[in-house]
Amino acid sequence: MASNAAVPFWRTAGMTYITYSNICANLVRNCLKEPYKTEALSREKVHFSISKWTNGKPEKPTIRSDSSEE
């Protein structure tokens, strides 16, 4: 089954489905009215520290700390 069908725009832009759905979710959150909006946005903060290892050697860990996906 050759996929000749047009790949959705976000896939060609390099995003995965997860990134796409996170952006959509953030758009929906931004549609909320005021008290709920700040609550929802503060609930969805992201923080972790990721370090890639090559050949048994760690590289410098980068901290992914965005308030939420942009």
Q: How many CB atoms lie within 10 A of CB 52?
A: 9
The rounded distance, in Å, linking the Cα atoms of 49 and 27 is 26
Closer by beta carbon to other proteins, 7 or else 31: 7
Name the phi and psi angles at 63, rounded to 5.
Answer: -100, 120
- The binding site for other proteins (CB under 8 A) comprises 1, 3-8, 11, 16-19, 21-22, 25, 43-53, 55-56, 58, 61, 63-64, 66, 68-69
The two three-digit tokens of residue 24, written as one number: 């959509």
Closer by beta carbon to other proteins, 33 or else 60: 60
Smallest gap from Cβ 30 to other proteins, in A, equals 13
